[in-house]
A and B are shown apart, each in its own frame.
Chain A
């Protein structure tokens, strides 16, 4: 059973629809005791980093998620949910994240290294470039996925990035270390490629029973 963490800012419906299409059992909860029993968790998220962390803190989910991840059970953050896995964000003033992965969340500058301007948010279909090995990418070809975000992860530790996309900068798109994974794009909105990535995560969850 997959647990979807409900802290009030998720695109829970589309994520759960995607799991339905893959024929997986899931439940939505904001209760650490219930979520503890899930074989794997999904942390969705749409909105601002600071608000999301405040909600996680208030519902005593911050410590729970950290402990869950440390226990070695799989956790997948999607979009803002992926950003929350990192140490801190500059969105609406600095705030601390879950610190399960090294790096910080910064805003797209809107100007690339050649001084050309580009639009923010990064919205639409962009091609993944696989940069490191990941169980999530097993058996898949580099393909297009759907992004919508104005902030991205900046990290000195490139080993946590397993796929990236080019948009003014190299945008970390799939990240992971140990049993903690993240996708900056929306796999549940990314057609066949997104479903295949989700399916790989679900297989990994099943394999770790």
Chain B
């Protein structure tokens, strides 16, 4: 039986992990490779690196980070942020990433999903969706540009289209829950998970181990992603997994 995956997410800017990571045990808390190794040891099933570099040089540096992580780590990892073309995908995947995640670029030009899946296979293409509930339409709306721009698309329809075009996985972030630490958006996660035939990663809102249980049991997520609660050591991957095991959720 497939296990439910726990995925720490690291924000990388100009080659360094940013957004405060509190690891006194590490020599350098900003080093992506060192942090990746730490989470690997903790039992993380996978990692996501989000490249938030603003400059071209920063994005080049990301390629070096990807190569260094691939050389030292024996677990899968995804790279997202700033991937706009098949060339961008090639650069990151050839450097050793297992998957790339596309967000704004895929919404602006959905054919990009077909191109990526056609070239590398669906298993390499993750579609990241930033979702926010809209009362006027009674469903969730897709946002782009890091959550700044609303689009005309509704989340369920977009998720289905992305999968038809070849997406192998959906990384679903609830903007309503993100940063609140009051739990994943179970309704949203469940709605998308039931609408598509590929794995769904729940993201946004993790505050404690019980929230992961809800995402898996009620939200029907296949994986769950969190950043700050792991970085600030409010809980650990190990703790979350041992709690989930007690609750009958199959984890590695």
- Residues of A whose CB lies within 8 Å of any CB of B are 13-14, 17-18, 20-21, 46-48, 110, 119-127, 144, 146, 148-150, 166-167, 186, 188-192, 194-195
The 8 closest A-B pairs by CB, nearest first: A144-B252, A148-B123, A125-B3, A125-B252, A17-B71, A124-B2, A13-B96, A189-B76
CB pair B2–A110 under 8 Å, yes or no, is no
Cα–Cα, bound, A110→B222 (Å): 15
- By beta carbon, the residue of chain A nearest B250 is A127
Cβ of B40 within 8 Å of any chain A Cβ, yes or no, is: yes
- By beta carbon, the residue of chain B nearest A126 is B2
Instruction: Given A189-B74, A189-B76, verify A126-B96 contact (CB < 8 Å).
Output: no
- By beta carbon, the residue of chain A nearest B69 is A17
CB pair B122–A122 under 8 Å, yes or no, is no
CB pair A18–B123 under 8 Å, yes or no, is no
- Select B121's contact among A47, A127, A192, beta carbons within 8 Å: A47
Give the chain A neighbours of B120 by CB distance below 8 A: 46-47
CB pair A126–B222 under 8 Å, yes or no, is no
- By beta carbon, the residue of chain A nearest B77 is A189
Task: Please report whether the interface of chain A is mostly helix, strand, loop or mixed according to DSSP.
Answer: mixed
**Apart from A17-B72, A189-B75, A191-B74, what 8 extra A-B contacts exist at CB < 8 Å?**
A13-B70, A120-B197, A124-B2, A126-B1, A127-B1, A127-B3, A188-B74, A190-B75
Expressed in whole angstroms, the minimum distance between the Cβ of A48 and any Cβ of chain B is: 7
Cα–Cα, bound, A123→B94 (Å): 20
26 residue pairs bridging A and B, Cβ less than 8 Å apart: A13-B95, A13-B96, A17-B96, A46-B120, A46-B124, A47-B120, A47-B121, A110-B197, A119-B222, A121-B122, A121-B168, A123-B168, A124-B45, A124-B199, A125-B252, A126-B2, A126-B3, A149-B123, A150-B122, A186-B76, A188-B74, A189-B75, A189-B76, A191-B74, A191-B75, A195-B74
- By beta carbon, the residue of chain A nearest B223 is A124
Cβ of B198 within 8 Å of any chain A Cβ, yes or no, is: yes
Instruction: Given A14-B96, A17-B96, A191-B40, verify A125-B2 contact (CB < 8 Å).
Output: yes
Cβ of B213 within 8 Å of any chain A Cβ, yes or no, is: no
List B164-179 residues whose CB lies under 8 Å from chain A: 168-169
Cβ of B132 within 8 Å of any chain A Cβ, yes or no, is: no
Cβ of B5 within 8 Å of any chain A Cβ, yes or no, is: yes
Give the chain B neighbours of A18 by CB distance below 8 A: 74
Cα–Cα, bound, A95→B165 (Å): 24
CB pair B94–A13 under 8 Å, yes or no, is yes
Cα–Cα, bound, A125→B76 (Å): 10
CB pair B71–A46 under 8 Å, yes or no, is no
Give the chain A neighbours of B168 by CB distance below 8 A: 121, 123
Give the chain A neighbours of B75 by CB distance below 8 A: 146, 189-191
Instruction: Given A14-B96, A189-B76, A189-B98, verify A122-B71 contact (CB < 8 Å).
Output: no
- Select A48's contact among B70, B121, B169, beta carbons within 8 Å: B121
Give the chain A neighbours of B96 by CB distance below 8 A: 13-14, 17
Give the chain B neighbours of A127 by CB distance below 8 A: 1, 3
CB pair A167–B1 under 8 Å, yes or no, is yes
CB pair A146–B76 under 8 Å, yes or no, is yes
- By beta carbon, the residue of chain B nearest A18 is B74
Give the chain B neighbours of A120 by CB distance below 8 A: 197-198
1/0 contact string of B162-197 vs chain A (CB within 8 Å):
000000110000000000000000000000000001
Expressed in whole angstroms, the minimum distance between the Cβ of A153 and any Cβ of chain B is: 17
Give the chain B neighbours of A47 by CB distance below 8 A: 120-121
Cα–Cα, bound, A191→B124 (Å): 19
CB pair B123–A119 under 8 Å, yes or no, is no
